[in-house]
Each structure stands twice: as structure tokens, then as C-alpha cells.
Chain A
Amino acid sequence: MTVSPALFLLPGVLFFAVYVIIPIIQSFYISAFEWNGLGELSEQGEYVGLRNYQELFTDRAFEVSLWNNVKWLVLYLLAIPAGLFIALFLNQTVAGIRIYKSLFFFPFVLSQVVVGLVFSWFYLPREGLLNAIISFFGFEPVNILGDPTLATYGIIAAGLWPQTAYCMILYLTGLNAVDPEQVEAGRLDRAKGWRMLWYVILPQLRPATFIAFVVTIIGALRSFDMISVMTNGGPFGSTRVLSFYMFEKALSEYGFRMGYGSAIAVVLFLIMLVFILYFLWTMVQDERASRN
């Protein structure tokens, strides 16, 4: 009787442990060693305690990566209002609206690698569409991905494209659930335009907004593939983020510092943990509120 629930949970728990929990613990463990990944950790690894973390404090490249992660976090959130407005715009009954909805949703279906490639062509200094437009208006061409001060923003803009589509879909579903009689009550109460959106519609979209925040923040923190495709961390390492820097240090062609890479991974994990704990806390609160 009490065995069957445990049995049902077993496969999930097993996989979660093997692929998530144990690797996290291993990362913590490895981050205390200097190890090149060859041979056994217990034989080849040299125990260094917290020295990897100490090194992070003085590592310029780590600082740049951390800052880039912050930029990603903040700017990526633009996908939420952008997705909301596209969803509001598409939430009408016009002939062929389904086609428009799927067109707007399309970028999310594309692989991040494809999005990255398309945008790097778009940004190309001479042949790119962006510079064709800019020069049409008589401005000097810009090499976005070649400029250390602009490259990260260029990649984030590319990342926003599919992320906006994702948030849009979340909001479109949420808008379906908005009670039309409440909108009418709002009209009678003189809530129009922005005030209708703010006081009547948005509160009803709270679940969608919450999910949009979760997926966007997690997405910003795990950004990797686009950076890898578009700039490979360059120019001069200016577009690295934590996940990319970790990969470079530990796993790429020149990477051999497993311990140092793990230390970066641990930092990234702790940052994520803050958000995840907040999300979990919110969900538990909501559940409690709905039960009372």
C-alpha cells in the first residue's frame, strides 16, 4: 500500500539524482581541486581548498562574464512586455489571425543556433541587412559583433527574438482565460486603455507573467549556444557569460582546468538558486492562498 507511491516516484527520483543532484555535488567537490580532467581525480587531482574561488576574485575574464550575465538578465526581461504587447495585438478575431499568430511564434520553433546564424548574417559589416538599412539613411556602417562594447547587446537582441515569441504564446493563452464580463465591468467603471490593462487585465494574467519571468530568467542565465555560434566569446572575450567561460576553462579545446571550471559552475548555480528558491517560495505561497 505505502510501497506503490514510492515505486511511482522511483524512476523520476532516480534520473533526477543521477543527472542533476549528484553532478551538482560533484561540481562542488571538483571545485576544490586542481585537475586537468585526465586520469582519476583522486590520483591526478591536487587538493587546493578554496583557492579556485580566490582566483575568481582577481580574474578579469570572470568579472566580464559575470557582468555580461547581469546584462543578459536585465535586457532579456524586455521579452516579457514585448511578448505581452504582441499578444494583446494578436488577441483579436480577424480573418487569418491564426496564421499571424503562428508567424509570430515561429522564431521560438527555430533552433537557437539557427537564430544565432541568421542574426550574425544580419549583422555582417558589409553584406549584412542591418548595415544596408543604416547606410540607406546615410549613417556609417557598424560592425556590431566585432565591437567589444556592442557585441553582447547584439547577441541579446538576437536572443530576444525567440524569447519574445515564447512570452507571447504564454500571454495569448492567458488572455483566453480573461473573463469577458470583467472587462465589461471595467468598461462600465471607466477603466480604459492603459488603466484597463493595468487594473483589470494584467492582474488576471498573473500566472502567465509568473511563468514568463521564470522561463526568461532561467533562459538568460543559461545563454550559451548563441554566444558560441555568433562570437565564440569574442571579441577579446567581451561576450563571455558564466556558462560560456566555464566551458572555455574546463571543456573547450584549450580547457584543462576542471577545478576552476567547476568553481565557475558553482557560482552560476548559486545565482540560479536564488531565483529558483524565490520562484518556489512564490508558488508555495500561491498554493496556500488558493487553499484558504
Chain B
Amino acid sequence: MSGVILESVDKSFGDAEVIHGVDLQVEDGEFCVFVGPSGCGKSTLLRMIAGLEDVTGGKIFIGGQDVTRTDPADRGIAMVFQTYALYPHMSVEENMGFGLRMNGVPKDEIAVKVREAAEILRLTELLKRKPKALSGGQRQRVAIGRAIVRGPGVFLFDEPLSNLDAELRVEMRVEISRLHQELGATMIYVTHDQVEAMTLADKIVVLRQGEIEQVGKPMQLYRDPGNAFVGGFIGSPSMNFLEGRIDNGNLHIPALADLVVPLQATAPAGIAGVTVGLRPQNLELDRTDSQLTVELSEMLGGVRYDYLKTSTGERLVVESRDADDADEGGSVGVSFDHSAIQLFHPDSGVRIRLSD
């Protein structure tokens, strides 16, 4: 079927190398999300799979076929663009049927397929309209419809929701998720929004500067990040990082009044300074203590985020569920389950795993 395999794929624009030897396997029927900050190469990687960018080095396989040099139209893929890229002079119907028409499919067959796709996406009423007469969300659905009609093995989405307002984005997110379940096709989805990544993906690929940082299931990346970058990128608000020190099998955290945490297992030898990662969700405000200053409190209804400053000048975010009035400017402490601590190498950011 239609899995996608990348084998040490490189991409350079002139002298600038933007993708460095990416290896990746996307299973058939999987929903894979490329996520990373802007400029990390996620869109370039997607466009290479689509065949819109040449591959400088390495190989791309789709459905077991080497498509590294294959024409985009012959790869069995369909793409949904960020700006939708609908043909403005064609009606919704013509837009959706254009690919089939170019492939020489008979007219009545096109009409049937377009109607089917329109029904899935609730576009039947709009088939005769031009893109100009549609709202952003409707255009988005037409762009998806255009992809569905072609019946591809792999769907490629290039930040498809970034031009929609927040409310519509959530709605379309659910719709894309539903579509994936209905069609069962392989989907590769590019976004810079980690919430989209978490909610949609079977598999998340975190990219930074043209390299894969980590690949895994959403919760796996959340619970067990391989490095500080992934830890900080996945999860909202992002993970807190504090300076720490390992001394005699004990972890010292100067920022929290020189808190000493006895380590249950031994750290690799030769490591003294560490970065301590703590998720805001795992922290709890301790109102009896007073080593931290509350800089700002954000009440979001169900949850509250308190932005704290430590005596060492570092910052901490704490997520709380209680709706107590925020005490901005006041002093508090934090408490947490020590097993929630994750340690990272202070320079490389690589996770330090403790061994028994």
C-alpha cells in the first residue's frame, strides 16, 4: 500500500543545506505530523515528498516504489496547500475535477467522484460557486475535496489551517481527523502548532534546523522527550528548565532554595551540571512557602497559569486547577512529585537517563 519511506534525504539550496540526511518511515494509513519552529525544513521536506522540490541526496519511496525522480503527478499523492491554491476561474466542481480531467478520466465518472467528495465534505450546495464566493473554511474544504477526488494513497497537508481563525481551526482539525478515519489513507501533515500535532497525529516528527529531533507517538514525546528541545516544544505551556547540579547522587536545584533531591538511580559518570526539566502541569503552588515571586497570573477559566520568578533570576510556569484569586506580586513556593523531574545535558540538551 502507500507507506512513505525517506532514506538519508538531503536538500541544499546552492550552498545552504536545509535538510540533513533525514531517515523516516511513515506506515500505510498512518497520520504523521511534521512539527517544528519556522525554518526547520518541515515544509521543504513535505514538498520533496510531493516532488515539488528536487532531492539533492538520498531516496524517497512511496508505496514501495522509488519516486525520488518521479513526476509529482505520478507519485499517487495529493496536496493541500496553505493558501489552498484553488483555481480562481473554475467553479468548485471544476476545481475538484480538474486533476481527473487532466488524467483523461471520462466526464460522468468525474461527476460521480466529485459528488461523492462533496458529500463527505458537505460541499454539495456550493459546487457551482467560484472560490471567490466562498469563506475561508469552505475554501479549505474545497482544497481538501480536490485532494480526495483524486483518490491518492498519500495526502500531504502544508499548514492547511494557518489561514483560518481560531474557532474554525478547531472545527477543521476535527474534520481532518474524521476524514482520516473515514478514508484510512496515509496522511502527512506539516504544522508549527504543537496542539495540532498532538491532537491529530499517530506519529509526530519533531524537526529542528533540517534534522529530525525525535519521532514518536504524541504522548510518548510528551512523557518521554529525547532532548530539551522536544521537551520544550511539545506541551503547552512549555516545559520549565532550571539549572541543576549533581553531587554525591543528589540533585541540587539552586533556583528552588537549593532543593536537594536524592536520585533514585545513578547518573552517568562525569556529569555535574544538568538542566532540570519540569512540566507546568506537574508543579503545584505551595502557599505556605515564599521563595518565589508571582510575576503574572493568567486565568483561563478552567486553569490558571502562574508565572514565577526565582531568586536566581530563572522563570517558572505553574498550571493550577483551583480558581483562587491570583496574588500577583506575592510570594509562594512550589512542590512536585520528584519522579516528574527530567534531566537534560546543559550544552547538547540531550536527555540524561538514569540507570539503576
Contact = CB atoms under 8 A, between A and B. Distances in A.
A187 B72 contact: yes
Nearest to A206: B89
Contacts of A206: 89
A181 B87 contact: no
Interface string A195-211: 10001100110100000
Contacts of B50: 184, 188
Q: Is the interface of A mostly helix, strand, loop or mixed?
A: helix
A85 B98 CA distance: 25
Contact of B85 (A179, A192, A290): A179
Contact of A181 (B78, B83, B98, B99): B83
B102 A185 contact: no
Contact of B99 (A188, A204, A290): A188
A184 B85 contact: yes
Contacts of A203: 87-89
A199 B98 contact: yes
A93 interface: no
Interface string A203-221: 1101000000000000000
A195 B132 CA distance: 23
Interface in B68-102: 71-73, 77-79, 81-83, 85-89, 98-99, 102
A184 B71 CA distance: 12
Interface string B47-73: 000111000000000000000000111
Q: Which of A181, A190, A203 has the most CB of B within 10 A?
A: A190
Contacts of B89: 203-204, 206
A131 B81 CA distance: 56
B73 A188 contact: yes
B72 to A, nearest CB: 5
Query: Interface residue tally of chain A, by bracket?
Result: 10 to 19
A18 B77 CA distance: 64
Contact of A185 (B71, B77, B81, B132): B81
Contacts of A195: 102
B355 interface: no
Given A182-B87, A206-B89, A292-B133, A189 B81 contact: no
A71 to B, nearest CB: 33
Contacts of A188: 50, 52, 72-73, 77-79, 99
Nearest to B80: A185
Contacts of B71: 187
Contacts of A64: none
B83 A189 contact: no
A191 interface: yes
A189 B81 CA distance: 13
B248 interface: no
A182 B89 CA distance: 12
A4 B14 CA distance: 58
B156 to A, nearest CB: 9
A188 B147 CA distance: 10
A189 B102 CA distance: 7
A63 B87 CA distance: 47
Contacts of B88: 203-204
Contact of B83 (A179, A199, A200): A179
Given A179-B85, A200-B87, A206-B89, A187 B52 contact: yes
Contacts of A187: 51-52, 71-73
Interface in A207-261: none
- Among B81, B83, B87, B132, the one with the most A-chain Cβ atoms within 10 Å of its Cβ is B87
A234 to B, nearest CB: 48
B85 A185 contact: yes
Nearest to A184: B52
B102 A191 contact: yes
Contacts of A191: 98, 102
Contacts of A204: 88-89
Given A184-B52, A204-B88, A190 B103 contact: yes
A27 B290 CA distance: 97
Contacts of B146: 185
Nearest to A189: B99
Interface in B295-323: none
Contact of A182 (B52, B77, B85, B99): B85
Interface string B103-147: 100000000000000000000000000001100000000000010
Interface string B146-162: 10001000000000000
Contacts of B82: 181
Contacts of B52: 184, 187-188
Nearest to A180: B85
B135 to A, nearest CB: 15
Nearest to B52: A184
B98 A189 contact: yes
B294 to A, nearest CB: 47
B79 A185 contact: yes
A162 to B, nearest CB: 31
Nearest to B152: A188
B128 to A, nearest CB: 14
A97 B71 CA distance: 28
Contacts of B87: 182, 185, 199-200, 203
A286 to B, nearest CB: 12
Interface of B: 50-52, 71-73, 77-79, 81-83, 85-89, 98-99, 102-103, 132-133, 146, 150
8 contacts: A179-B85, A181-B81, A181-B82, A184-B50, A185-B85, A191-B102, A203-B87, A290-B132
Given A182-B87, A185-B79, 14 more contacts: A179-B83, A181-B83, A182-B86, A184-B52, A184-B72, A185-B146, A187-B72, A187-B73, A188-B79, A189-B150, A190-B102, A199-B102, A203-B88, A204-B89
Q: 9 closest Cβ contacts across the A-B interface? A: A190-B73, A189-B99, A181-B85, A203-B89, A185-B85, A190-B102, A181-B81, A182-B85, A187-B72
